[in-house]
Amino acid sequence: MSSTAKIARIEGIPYRLPLTSALAWGTHSALSAAEHVLVRVTLDDGTVGLAEAPPRPTIYGETPGSVVAILAHLSPALVGLPIADTDALNRVRNSVANNNTARGALDMALWDARAKAGGQTLFETLLGPKTRVRVSFILGIDTPAGMLAEAGRVVAAGVRCLKVKVGRNHARDLAVIRELRATYGEAVQLYADSNETLTPAEAPAALDAMREAGLMYVEEPLPVRDLRARVELYARHLLPIVADDSCFLPADLTRELDFDTFDILNAKTARNGFTDGLAMLQAAAAAGKRGMVGSQASTGLGTIHAALLSTQAEVTEPCELSFVLKLRDDLIDQPIRFEDGWLDVASLRHHALDADKLRHYQLT
């Protein structure tokens, strides 16, 4: 293996993994299966770097087909470049707009290939000081009974923080949150994700009610386009606000810091990769903001990559690393396990892609 190796091939391999149940969020979005793309970068010395792209048509406008297509579009400019030339690789990767998860996965696969070409792994190059990370689980919108049942299942599996999707029925949302609080007391932390569903008129009362119900914070209560309303809501300091949809890119984060709209940055390897994810967490921390790492319903490989980013010093909050509990199967060869609210990220070092499972779940 050599750090002078060059890129020989870029591939996108779509696959589909079944879920235990659908994940619903926002006003109408739902996910019934993990239809993702394995991004594979092969170097001329045989080194292979891997990453997961989770397309989300309702969020980024991407589909598995569009991810494969944009990788093919970028491939001619990438093939032949030295894996060590990060400036050139990033120029090509950022030569197209949008395509968030495709570009994020490409970045991570390049990092993986670069580490391996230098005789290391991502764990040697990225593992930060916080090798044990608090985890949260994304509790999607369902019937109250369905949400409580799923909460019971993941708490039994070792999760101690729930990110509760809200926004379709405020009264029902609060009833579920109060029931969760009554069931688990302070043993389980709770916060909400509104996915931009509140209006400026109703948001103050809604955030007051969420705070009284015992939530730690709320993610994106207002539509991103309503910048003035978001500035005004944040200035009232009713409940800490998590920035997610408003901070897709580093340029978005710069705007949000300029206008001071949030308390906690939710950085996602699924859309930012490692390069932008690290930079965004550092910029947010320099501005006095807290940090977390989120999931785009990542499967095992994406979870390992998100977990590595979660070990950085700038990450202060529970991270969305337990979506694997919603999968019926996975592409990695070992399950990811949680213990009393924590994930031992260092223990994931030997988890690897199972080639037989990839062949089984690959879409043609």
Query: Which tokens in the block code for residue 122?
Result: 């991502």
Radius of gyration of the chain (CA): 20
How are beta strands 189-193 and 161-165 bridged, if at all? parallel
Query: Which tokens in the block code for residue 301?
Result: 């490989």
Question: What Å distances lie between residue 6 and 48, 110, 271, CA to CA?
Answer: 11, 11, 25
Query: Which tokens in the block code for residue 53?
Result: 């792209």
Query: Which tokens in the block code for residue 142?
Result: 């369902």
Identify which of 201, 237, 198 has the alpha carbon closest to the alpha carbon of residue 217. 237
Instruction: Tell me how far apart the alpha carbons of residues 61 and 190 are, in angstroms, rounded to a whole number.
Output: 29
Q: Could you count the other beta carbons within 10 Å of the beta carbon of residue 301?
A: 23
Alpha helices in the chain (DSSP H): 64-78, 86-93, 100-117, 122-126, 144-156, 170-184, 203-212, 227-235, 250-259, 269-286, 300-310, 355-361
Query: Which tokens in the block code for residue 334?
Result: 């070992």
Instruction: Tell me how far apart the alpha carbons of residues 27 and 71 are, in angstroms, rounded to a whole number.
Output: 31
Instruction: Tell me how far apart the alpha carbons of residues 293 and 266 are, in angstroms, rounded to a whole number.
Output: 5
Identify which of 102, 127, 114 has the alpha carbon closest to the alpha carbon of residue 270. 102
CB 307 within 8 A of CB 126: no
Which residues does the annotation mark as catalytic? 165, 193, 219, 244, 268, 296
Instruction: Tell me how far apart the alpha carbons of residues 227 and 302 are, in angstroms, rounded to a whole number.
Output: 31
